[in-house]
Amino acid sequence: MKRAAAFLAALLLAPSTSFAVSSPFGIATPDGGGALGWAGPFRGFFVWIAAEQSSFYRSLTGALSELSQSSHAAWFLIGLSFAYGVFHAVGPGHGKAVIASYLLATGDTLKRGIAISFASGFVQGLTAIVVVGIGTILLKVTAVTMTRATDALEIASFAMIALCGVWLLWSKTVGRHEHGGGSTAGAGTHVHDASCAIHGHGRLGLDRSGIGQRDMTAAPARFSAATLGQPRLAYSGFSATSATTSVDLSCDCGHAHIPDPATLTMPLTFRSGLAAIFAVGIRPCSGAVIVLVFALAQQLWWAGILSVLAMSLGTGATVSALAILAVKAKDIAVRFTGNGRSVLANRVLRGFELAAAGGILLFGLAMLGGALASG
Amino acid sequence: MLRRRLLLAVALLSAGMATASAHPHVFVDAREEIVFDATGKMTAIRHSWQFDEAFTAFAVQGLDANGDGKLSDDELQPLAKVNVDSLKEYRYFTNLKVGNKHVSVDFPSEYWLDFHGGRLTLFYTLPIRTPIAPGAHATLEVFDPEYFVAFSFVKNHEIALTGAPAGCKASVRPPHELDDATMAQLAAIPADQHDLPQELADAASSLATLITIGCS
Whether A326 maps to a domain, the answer reads yes
Q: What's the pLDDT score for residue A258? A: 40
Please tell me the predicted confidence (pLDDT) of residue B186. 57
Identify all chain B residues contacting A142, using CB atoms and an 8 Å cutoff. 61-63, 79
Question: Looking at beta carbons, which residues of chain B come within 8 Å of A286?
Answer: 25
Interface test with B, best of A38, A55, A117 (most B CBs within 10 A): A38
**What is the C-alpha separation between B179 and B181, in angstroms, rounded?**
6
Predicted pLDDT at B177: 58
Give CA–CA dist A118/A125, Å, rounded.
11
d(CA A321, CA A206): 30
| Least CB–CB distance from A329: residue in B3, B9, B21 | B9
Question: Which chain B residues touch A92 with a CB distance below 8 Å?
Answer: 19-22, 191
Note the pLDDT of residue A50: 66
Q: Are residues A288 and A163 in the same domain?
A: yes
Contact between A34 and B19 using a beta-carbon 8 Å cutoff: yes
Residue A152, in any domain of the structure: yes
Query: Looking at the complex, does the CB of residue A2 fall below 8 Å from at least one CB of chain B?
Result: no
Same domain, A75 and A143: yes
Chain A interface, mutation test: which of B23, B85, B111, B123, most A Cβ atoms within 10 Å?
A: B23
Whether B37 contacts A38, CB under 8 Å = no
- Cβ pair A162, A372 in contact under 8 A: no
Pick from B12, B90, B194: CB nearest A325: B12
B132-142 mean pLDDT? 94
Residue A38 neighbours by CB distance under 10 Å: 22
Distance separating alpha carbons of residues B216 and B209, to the nearest angstrom: 23
Nearest to A361 by CA among A162, A137, A219: A162
Residue A340 C-alpha, separation from nearest chain B C-alpha, in angstroms: 14
Q: Would you call A325 an interface residue with chain B, using a CB distance cutoff of 8 Å? A: yes
* A contacts of B79 (beta carbons < 8 Å): 26-27, 142-144
* A57 and A76 fall within a common domain: yes
Please count the structural domains in chain A: 2
pLDDT band at B126 (very low <50, low <70, confident <90, very high): very high
Query: Could you say which residues from 205 to 234 on chain A have a Cβ atom under 8 Å away from some Cβ of chain B?
Result: none
- What region does A81 belong to: left with phi over 0, alpha with psi -120 to 50, or beta? alpha
Cα B209 to the chain's mean position, in Å? 10
Disruptive mutation site among B10, B17, B63 for chain A (greatest number of A CBs within 10 Å): B17
Given A27, A43, A101, which is nearest B59 (Cβ)?
A27
Q: A258 lies in a domain? A: no
CB contact under 8 A, B178 and A32: no
- Tally A–B CB contacts below 8 A: 247
Q: What end-to-end distance do the CA atoms of chain B give, in Å?
A: 67
Question: What is residue A71's DSSP assignment?
Answer: S
Chain A residue with CA closest to B148: the answer is A30
Contact A15 B19 (CB under 8 A): yes
Domain's final residue, options A248, A277, A296: A248
Could you tell me if residue A349 is left (phi over 0), alpha (psi between -120 and 50 degrees) or otherwise beta?
alpha
| pLDDT, greater one: B112 or A219 | B112
Please check whether residues A49 and A137 belong to one and the same domain.
yes
User: Quick check: is A29 in a domain?
Assistant: no
ipTM for the assembly: 0.74
d(CA A168, CA A159): 14
- Where is pLDDT greater, at B150 or B9? B150
The DSSP-derived string for A79-108 is HHHHHHHHHHTTSS-TTHHHHHHHHHHHT-
**Chain A residues inside the 8 Å CB shell of B194:** 21
Assess if residue A253 is contained within a domain: no
Largest distance between two CA atoms of chain A: 81
Q: What is the pLDDT of residue B194?
A: 54
Q: What is the pLDDT of residues B3-54, one digit of tens each?
A: 555 454 444 444 433 333 456 788 999 999 999 999 999 999 999 999 999 9
Q: How many CB atoms lie within 10 A of CB A236?
A: 7
Predicted TM-score of the model (pTM): 0.69
Contact between chains at A30 and B148 (C-beta distance less than 8 A): yes
Answer whether residue A288 is part of any domain: yes
- Contact residues on chain B for A90, CB-CB shorter than 8 A: 19-20
Q: Which residues of A touch B57 (CB under 8 A)?
A: 290, 293-294, 296-298
A144–B79: do the CB atoms touch at under 8 Å? yes
Residue A190: the pLDDT is 39
Mean pLDDT of B178-194: 55
A22 touches chain B (CB under 8 A): yes
| Interchain contact, B54 vs A290, CB within 8 Å | yes
Question: Where among A248, A277, A300 does a domain terminate?
Answer: A248
Same domain, yes or no: A77 and A216:
no
Give dist(CA A103, CA A324) in Å, integer. 9
Residues forming beta bridges with residue B199, ordered by sequence position: none
Check whether residue A233 and residue A293 sit in a common domain: no
A299 shares a domain with A152? yes
Alpha helices by DSSP H, listed for chain A, are 2-13, 36-39, 43-66, 72-88, 96-106, 110-132, 143-172, 174-179, 202-207, 211-218, 240-244, 261-264, 266-281, 286-297, 301-336, 343-374
Residues A87 and A233 in one domain: no
Regarding whether A280 and A134 lie in a shared domain, the answer is: yes
Residues of the domain holding A207:
187-248
A70 vs B: CB within 8 A: no
Task: Name the strand (E) or helix (H) holding B35.
Answer: strand B26-36
Cβ contact, residue pair B19, A36, below 8 Å: yes
User: Would you say residue A257 lies in a domain?
Assistant: no
pLDDT-based confidence at B196, cuts 50/70/90? low
Phi and psi, residue B167, nearest 5°: 95, -5
In a domain, A329, yes or no: yes
Residues A228 and A317 placed together within one structural domain of the fold: no
Could you list the mean pLDDT of each consecutive 10-residue stretch along chain A, which spans 375 residues? 46 38 77 44 59 77 77 82 83 73 82 89 92 89 88 88 87 63 38 36 36 39 39 37 35 35 50 82 86 88 91 91 84 73 77 84 80 65
Question: What is the pLDDT averaged over residues B93-103?
Answer: 93
Residues A228 and A276 in one domain: no
Contact A29, A22 (CB under 8 A): yes
Judged by CB atoms closer than 8 Å, whether chains meet at B22 and A57 is answered as no
Given this model, what pLDDT does residue A212 score? 38
Please indicate, yes or no, whether residues A279 and A312 belong to a single structural domain of this protein. yes
DSSP state of A341: -
* Residue B115 scores a pLDDT above 90: yes
> What pLDDT shows up at residue B121?
97
Does A374 sit within 8 Å of B13, measured CB to CB? Answer: no
pLDDT of residue A164: 86
Q: A218, A248, A278: which is the final residue of a domain? A: A248
- CA A207 vs. chain centroid, Å, equals 24
C-beta atoms of A91 and B19 within 8 A? yes
